[in-house]
Amino acid sequence: MSTARVQVSACALSAAVNNRRLRPTAVVSFTNHFRKKSLRVVSMSSVPPSQPFEIAVKASVTTPNRLGDCPFCQRVLLTLEEKNLPYEPKLVDFSNRPEWFLKANPDGKVPVIKFDEKWVPDSDVITQTLEEKYPIPPLVTPPEKATVGSKIFSTFIGFLKSKDPNDGTEQALLSELSSFNDYIKENGPYINGNEISAADLSLGPKLYHLEIALGHYKKWTVPDSLTSLKAYTKAIFLRESFIKTSAQPQDVIEGIRGSKPSIKQTLQLTLMASGDFINKSLSLPPYPEMILEAVEALNDGNGSNKTSISKYIESRYGVLPPGHKVLLNVHLAKMRDSGLLDFWKNNYTKRDPNAPPRRGRGRPPKPKELLPPGIVLSPPRPRGRPPKGPSDMQRPPKATTGSGRPRGRPRKMARPAGGFGETSASSLKPSARPRGRPPKVKPELI
Ligand SMILES: N[C@@H](CCC(=O)N[C@@H](CS)C(=O)NCC(=O)O)C(=O)O
């Protein structure tokens, strides 16, 4: 949170003064908690809260006591700012999430806000609740416009993560950005026309991450030809609410570099390792659905191999769970076994229910010769050693050597009880000779 750049009073007051439709109903204390300094501003909300909202947000990894990189947190902070609602950010150190926070949200994710003594996660839920509780100024985006630009984030992540310049992820992003550019040209300057609305507050932070991350990691910038998009980002990034709530660029860069599996993702991996995994959540459709979608979209007559299916899913959905490759393998195998997919020469195709079954690998079995009527063959001997039956209990005697001596090394003789000194001469037959050098025979004294 950069408090040096923007005065809280300027931000909050300008938002209030700009809204001429409303009559101030209350004067509340607004605390700039990043600077720990209270300022009085006019709230334009119809029923102002008596206390600032406590909101858990990600802490910076580069600078102590500063807001970190989280577009979902910024979305909620922007909503609070644009609605002139007081809040108290609680910075959560992701490298060591405090206990109170994990109790508030066991998923370990931010943002989480306290409404009526209850912690509520998820930026969708939070912003919607804020809209319902504090409808003034309204930030509702009409449903038909609410999904405009909604694929930009996933295609951006797909391109950011891609290592192959020709895998189509850059093109996918450019195509989303260019459709958005055309939309804004026609309908702008904001998604809902002249007034900023919830959809802009969601998309703005994502475009901010996109510009910083792709500039840093890919030396890539939004083409200058997309003039309406450029004007749109400028208008949002320069809003006081945005400047006040945006992450520092170095945090965006570090956040991407150090992104680790979430608690939920780790849990999923653990479940998966225990063979108990169901592809729940992560906001992704189930794997079978994504796989079928990929095979259909790739639409290759010869089918699609695992790599192209994976690349398609990645470019389409962007953020994938760690262990994605394992999951993909598991689900492809299941779908193959259950007959949803055909597998042929390393490629998968959707099973045509009317197609004859494919011939398996290897030489086809020999056709059976027809026998003259009446002739019945004894059943072929099954493969392998026949099972042991009760008759096996009376084994035939083992083969012996020609000499009559049993096969193998003769069994060791037990030592005679009285020691070798007492061995009688008659017991020293070759076959019964005890181990070791025979004791010296003492000459008889005359
Ligand atoms: N759907 C959630 C997503 C929140 C989210 O993914 N937050 C990230 C930070 S940007 C997070 O807390 N990640 C931590 C983790 O996954 O362990 C929302 O809209 O609030």
CATH number of the domain that residue 326 is part of? 1.10.10.10
Ligand 1 close to Cβ of residue 85 (< 6 A):
no
Q: Does 12 share its domain with 135? A: yes
Q: Does 154 share its domain with 169? A: yes
Q: Which atom of ligand 1 is nearest to the CA of 71?
A: 10
Q: Does 30 share its domain with 47? A: yes
Check residue 337 and give its pLDDT.
Answer: 83
Domain boundary among 315, 334, 350: 350
Check residue 358 and give its pLDDT.
Answer: 57
Distance 128 CA to ligand 1 centre (A): 17
Give the mean pLDDT of 88-100: 96
Percent of the chain with pLDDT over 90: 50
Q: Which atom of ligand 1 is nearest to the CA of 108?
A: 17
Closest CA to 267 of 322, 319, 331, 317: 322
For residue 419, the 8-state DSSP code is -
164 assigned to some structural domain: yes
Instruction: Quote the CA–CA distance of 330 and 76 in Å, as a whole number.
Output: 38
Ligand 1 close to Cβ of residue 58 (< 6 A):
yes
Percent of the chain with pLDDT over 70: 63
12 assigned to some structural domain: yes
Q: Whose CA is nearest to atom 10 of ligand 1?
A: 70
Give the mean pLDDT of 205-231: 98
Reply yes or no on whether 73 is catalytic: no
Check residue 167 and give its pLDDT.
Answer: 96
Ligand 1 close to Cβ of residue 109 (< 6 A):
yes
Q: Does 177 share its domain with 203? A: yes
What's the mean per-residue pLDDT of the chain? 76
Instruction: Quote the CA–CA distance of 29 and 43 in Å, as a whole number.
Output: 9
pLDDT digits (tens, 9 = 90+) for 13-35: 222 222 222 222 222 222 333 43
Instruction: Quote the CA–CA distance of 286 and 284 in Å, as a whole number.
Output: 6
CB atoms within 10 A of CB 79: 24
316 assigned to some structural domain: yes
Distance 28 CA to ligand 1 centre (A): 30
398 assigned to some structural domain: no
CATH number at residue 191: 1.20.1050.10
Domain span at residue 34 reads 8-139
Structural tokens at position 47 = 């029923």
Q: Which atom of ligand 1 is nearest to the CA of 124?
A: 19
CATH number at residue 74: 3.40.30.10
Ligand 1 close to Cβ of residue 110 (< 6 A):
yes
Give the mean pLDDT of 184-211: 98
Q: Whose CA is nearest to atom 1 of ligand 1?
A: 122
Low-confidence winner among 91-105, 143-157, 234-248, 411-425 (lowest mean pLDDT): 411-425
Q: Are strands 26-32 and 53-58 parallel, antiparallel or unpaired?
A: unpaired
Q: Whose CA is nearest to atom 15 of ligand 1?
A: 262
101 assigned to some structural domain: yes
Q: Does 105 share its domain with 125? A: yes
Ligand 1 close to Cβ of residue 122 (< 6 A):
yes
Give the mean pLDDT of 85-112: 97
pLDDT digits (tens, 9 = 90+) for 370-411: 445 544 445 555 566 655 544 444 444 444 444 556 566 655
Q: Does 245 share its domain with 332? A: no
Residue 445 has pLDDT above 70, yes or no: no
Residue among 77, 110, 154 to mutate when testing ligand 1 (max atoms within 8 A of CB): 110
Q: Does 157 share its domain with 183? A: yes
Question: If pLDDT is split at 50, 70 and 90, which confidence band does 281 have?
Answer: very low
Catalytic one among 67, 70, 291, 292?
Answer: 70
423 assigned to some structural domain: no
Which of 32-41, 167-176, 289-298 reaches the highest mean pLDDT? 167-176
Give the mean pLDDT of 428-442: 54
Domain boundary among 235, 257, 279: 257
| Residue carrying the six token digits 């006040």 | 244
Distance 268 CA to ligand 1 centre (A): 16
Q: Does 191 share its domain with 239? A: yes
Q: Does 230 share its domain with 268? A: no
Distance 435 CA to ligand 1 centre (A): 79
Instruction: Quote the CA–CA distance of 132 and 406 in Å, as a whole number.
Output: 97
Distance 66 CA to ligand 1 centre (A): 18
Ligand 1 close to Cβ of residue 124 (< 6 A):
yes
Q: Does 70 share its domain with 25? A: yes
Number of domains in the chain: 3
Low-confidence winner among 22-36, 237-251, 327-341 (lowest mean pLDDT): 22-36
Distance 123 CA to ligand 1 centre (A): 9
Q: Which atom of ligand 1 is nearest to the CA of 122?
A: 20
Residue with the larger pLDDT of the pair 323 and 122: 122
Distance 336 CA to ligand 1 centre (A): 34
Check residue 356 and give its pLDDT.
Answer: 66
Q: Does 252 share its domain with 323? A: no
Q: Whose CA is nearest to atom 20 of ligand 1?
A: 122
Check residue 159 and give its pLDDT.
Answer: 97
Q: Whose CA is nearest to atom 13 of ligand 1?
A: 109
357 assigned to some structural domain: no
Residue with the larger pLDDT of the pair 302 and 139: 139
Instruction: Quote the CA–CA distance of 355 and 341 in Å, as a whole number.
Output: 12
Domain boundary among 257, 290, 311: 257
Q: Does 177 share its domain with 208? A: yes
213 assigned to some structural domain: yes
Ligand 1 close to Cβ of residue 262 (< 6 A):
yes
CB atoms within 10 A of CB 336: 14
The overall pTM is greater than 0.75:
no
Which of 143-147, 400-404, 434-438 reaches the highest mean pLDDT? 143-147
Instruction: Quote the CA–CA distance of 403 and 423 in Å, as a whole number.
Output: 28
